[in-house]
Amino acid sequence: MRCCLWVPLSLALILAGSSQVAAQPRLARESVTFHTQDVDYLQVDGKTFKATIYQPEGAGPFPAILDVHGGAWTREDVRREEHALFDKALAAMGMVVAAIDYRQSPQHHYPDSVADVNFALRWLRASAAKFNASPKILGAFGSSSGGHLVLLNAMRPSDPRYAALPLAGASSASPNYVILVYPISDPLARRAYAQQVGSDAPVKSTDIYFSPAGSLEEGNPQLILDRHETVKLVPVLLLQGSADANGVVKDKNVSPEIQQRFAASYQAAGGKIQLELLPGAPHNFVNMPGANADRALALIKTFVGQQLTGQ
């Protein structure tokens, strides 16, 4: 009797183990088809905000990633479709992408949009099953000011100010990894850089968003590291344009030196960060088809694959 019971039990354990292995999210080996749908994900200040879901076809489970657009914290003309080129490419790799709108206008200041992104991270993880995605490994992708919002939430996911918007059920706002393209990793240094190169718009938007006294320093990822605050340090891939063959830096929004300093500080604090400089790439290069976007996508695919396999 014991022998008869032992055999199917062993088989059941083997099958269960195989099922767990199969359930691990992975990137597709070949390009997959996908569709998009818009869903309401956040209601705040009497407004409803949407997410565009780039949904691969199939049962999954697919890896999921939150896409946070840029726009200098205040520009209302920059919305969730900003990264459509990359979002489509990521979906074709077999990723569920949630590109979100959030509170971005001159009427909203730090930390309003940080809280919206925190909510979106919790919402996407809690809603993963609805999109045939896995809640086990959640990535976050952000560009420019959106990269700043992602960074703050990666470093301080449980900050009461950032987690102020309630969501039913317990869900973590901490991404397992982040991908940053030309992020504002140091808003104070970026403001000085914009003044140096004669770019007035970033200076004005910085002053509007960080209007609460002291917030430019308090909500600053670089200075958070400089102050040796206790923060989470998830794996980071950071992509930034650098000088071309003639020594010209085409990104007039944030300098490669700002990113190099941040990467060094992040690594010194114990974090794992991969900084990739793309010679001649301008700001917003991920929105432009071409060699820079292709290079960025190749780097992202390798990085995500490593995160999904625990490398």
**pLDDT per position as a tens digit, 145-165:** 999 999 999 999 999 999 999
Beta-sheet strand order (sheet of 133-143): 34-44, 47-56, 96-100, 62-68, 133-143, 177-181, 236-242, 273-279
Please list the residues that pair with 67 across neighbouring strands: 99, 141
Is pLDDT larger for residue 18 or for residue 28? 28
Structure confidence at residue 32 as a pLDDT band (50, 70, 90): very high
What is the per-residue pLDDT for 21?
44
pLDDT tens digits, 92-111: 999 999 999 999 999 999 99
Structure confidence at residue 272 as a pLDDT band (50, 70, 90): very high
Mean pLDDT of 219-231: 98
Q: Please state the pTM of the whole predicted model.
A: 0.92
CA–CA gap between residue 117 and residue 120 (Å, rounded): 5
Mean pLDDT of 2-31: 56
Structure confidence at residue 169 as a pLDDT band (50, 70, 90): confident
What is the per-residue pLDDT for 242?
98
Is pLDDT larger for residue 10 or for residue 191? 191
Q: At what angle are helices 145-155 and 112-126 packed, to 10 degrees?
A: 70
pLDDT at 175 over 60: yes
What is the per-residue pLDDT for 23?
73
Say what the alpha-carbon torsion angle 85, 129, 272, 21 is, to the nearest 10 degrees.
-110
Q: Are strands 133-143 and 236-242 parallel, antiparallel or unpaired?
A: unpaired
CA–CA gap between residue 158 and residue 278 (Å, rounded): 33
pLDDT at 262 over 80: yes
Spatial neighbors of 282 by CB under 8 A, at least 6 apart, are 241, 250, 251, 288
Q: Which residue has the tokens 């039913």?
A: 168
Mean pLDDT of 261-270: 98
What is the per-residue pLDDT for 269?
98
8-state DSSP, 223: H
Please state, for a pLDDT cut of 90, what percent of the chain lies above it: 90
In 3D, which of 44, 84, 55, 92 has the Cα closest to residue 67? 84
- Backbone phi, psi, residue 195, to 5°: -65, -40
pLDDT tens digits, 34-51: 999 999 999 999 999 999
Structure confidence at residue 275 as a pLDDT band (50, 70, 90): very high
In 3D, which of 209, 153, 144 has the Cα closest to residue 182? 144
* Structure token digits, residue 157: 């996911």
Spatial neighbors of 50 by CB under 8 A, at least 6 apart, are 38, 39, 40, 41, 80, 100, 101
In 3D, which of 71, 33, 65, 70 has the Cα closest to residue 52? 65
Please give the domain boundaries of the chain with CATH numbers for all domains.
29-308 (3.40.50.1820)
Mean pLDDT of 104-119: 98
In 3D, which of 128, 114, 139 has the Cα closest to residue 221? 114
* Structure token digits, residue 227: 């102050």
Q: Which residue has the tokens 């690594």?
A: 267
Spatial neighbors of 131 by CB under 8 A, at least 6 apart, are 53, 55, 62, 64, 96, 98
What is the per-residue pLDDT for 12?
42
Say what the alpha-carbon torsion angle 305, 306, 307, 311 is, to the nearest 10 degrees.
150
Side-chain half-sphere of 263: how many Cα atoms within 13 Å?
21
* Cβ atoms < 10 Å from Cβ of 21: 8
Q: Which amino acid is at 134?
A: S
What is the per-residue pLDDT for 20?
42
